[in-house]
Structure 1
């Protein structure tokens, strides 16, 4: 591991506190309303548009490559057709409106307008200053967007940058580990930390046969047990992937410093708990399935 002045896994813990506050938008009725209003009522189409819009009018290959774990057929069903319905600029504006409405609904106006939110925005933006674009297409595209003026939206923007920066690095580590998109999903679920198989299949454009075939390939590699859990070798591989993702994602948290990371983790962690308790994520997302 790279030498660091941060406590062990402090960057990962901060990311885990901040990222859900970005992710709430994609499960939000406010997002559905805003994207439907500009013509994107289909849920996959709205998701692909919202996350890809920063890259411009990209085609299905770019979305499949950068998102990594969605079936190519599902992507091609919607991309590039989404850009004939709504421009990337219109999608980005709708996404930001939905972030505003979602954070206000889940956290309350008192939190959204609080000094603590302004503090968190400053900390998260400072962390994002340490990100670098090389080899990180989704981060780089979002980094070119303007920072919103309102503190809660500036915080959400910074959370987006930190999310995509880590995500781009994580994809690189999945490739290095020899895990294809479906194998990555299956092995994460087998760890007990990923989506349920039913939710993954339903939302990623997969079939149960795709899932079972990937599970069998992992079993042949000695990574998954007959019951679908991780073997010792599988656990070691997943831990290695996360540790290497931490290493590739260290720069923003080193830039922020230990005290800033601890404070951002504290603030964002409390708001994430509030959002989860308010029903920000569907019950079927995690657990058995």
Structure 2
């Protein structure tokens, strides 16, 4: 039974949204692509997979498909394990840390990344990330095994990545319990008012229109979406339940910080993410998804 009060759950969700957005920055800027291009990794999806999967080692496509969950298996297989013939996981890890550092310095400014606020945020995020249990959290555990970067702004990004993967690992477990495949979960999310646009998500994750239509039909047969592709009451309830359960499994790191620590980390990271968004770090259709203003926080 979840005894965490609603206000604490809401604060933790806002903090999780903030650190996820910070983690995402190197994948939307050109910094990581620029560092992987000399190795021959130029396709944007390959750049993403090399960066995010590198802590796992030179794994094959089925492992990445299983852990990433939302990507089409064939789309992954076109890129993995071929990327490891171009760049080693060790070089990809170094590239993504350098990319994160460069992106944050450029977007936020030298004064911010060298500030006491940045050092404190890195410490708070590090405490939260280090307190996450490892069992059942493979992507989180792979990142937890890496050395903590010395520079505070890169250490903050590293901790944000650990927290993002911890939540993501739990989310995948909940989706499995709900018997939702990767494409089905995307269809439900895109049909909700909180999801990203289908026009961006579907090709980004490698699903075809045929894949998407087949998933919609399966969900319609379960009574989760209508013939028009909108969520039914049952579909909306299932999505809400998946989000609640994901948050429940994600509560541990934020409980370690306490209300004050969670609030401080969320406020600072949200502020930095909004600064990055103002410099066009995210595509326009995704800006409010990654950088909501404070009036939207109560909806997260």
* TM-score interval, smaller chain: over 0.9
2: CA distance between counterparts of 1:220 and 1:243? 24
The correspondence of residues 98-109 of structure 1 with structure 2, limited to 5 A, is 98-109=99-110
Contact 2:64 2:76 survives alignment (8 Å): yes
What stretches of structure 1 of length at least 5 have no aligned partner? none
The aligned residue for residue 121 of structure 2 is: 120
Offset at residue 86 of structure 1 (A): 0.8
2: CA distance between counterparts of 1:18 and 1:286? 15
4+ residue runs over 4 A deviation: 284-287
Q: Secondary structure at the match of 2:212?
A: helix
Matched, 1:4 2:4: yes
Number of aligned residue pairs: give it. 287
Offset at residue 74 of structure 1 (A): 1.2
Contact 1:194 1:286 survives alignment (8 Å): no
The aligned residue for residue 209 of structure 1 is: 210
Contact 2:19 2:161 survives alignment (8 Å): no
Contact 2:23 2:157 survives alignment (8 Å): yes
The correspondence of residues 180-199 of structure 1 with structure 2, limited to 5 A, is 180-199=181-200
Q: Secondary structure at the match of 1:70?
A: coil
2: CA distance between counterparts of 1:246 and 1:176? 15
TM-score, normalisation: structure 2: 0.92
Contact 1:215 1:228 survives alignment (8 Å): yes
Please give the root-mean-square deviation of Cα atoms over the aligned residues, in Å: 1.5
The correspondence of residues 121-270 of structure 1 with structure 2, limited to 5 A, is 121-270=122-271
1: CA distance between counterparts of 2:216 and 2:88? 39
CA displacement 1:215-245 (0-9 Å, x = unmatched): 1211221111233221111111111101101
TM-score, normalisation: structure 1: 0.95
2: CA distance between counterparts of 1:14 and 1:81? 36
Contact 1:15 1:162 survives alignment (8 Å): yes
Q: Secondary structure at the match of 2:16?
A: helix
2: CA distance between counterparts of 1:191 and 1:232? 11
CA displacement 1:31-60 (0-9 Å, x = unmatched): 111111222111111111111110101000
Offset at residue 285 of structure 1 (A): 4.4
Q: Secondary structure at the match of 2:267?
A: helix
1: CA distance between counterparts of 2:89 and 2:78? 18
The aligned residue for residue 296 of structure 2 is: none
1: CA distance between counterparts of 2:286 and 2:15? 22
Q: Secondary structure at the match of 2:78?
A: helix
What stretches of structure 2 of length at least 5 have no aligned partner? 289-300
The aligned residue for residue 39 of structure 1 is: 40
CA displacement 1:75-129 (0-9 Å, x = unmatched): 1111111111111000011111110111112211121111110010011001112
Matched, 1:77 2:78: yes
Please identify, of 125-134 and 274-283, the stretch whose mean Cα deviation from structure 2 is larger.
274-283
1: CA distance between counterparts of 2:231 and 2:224? 6
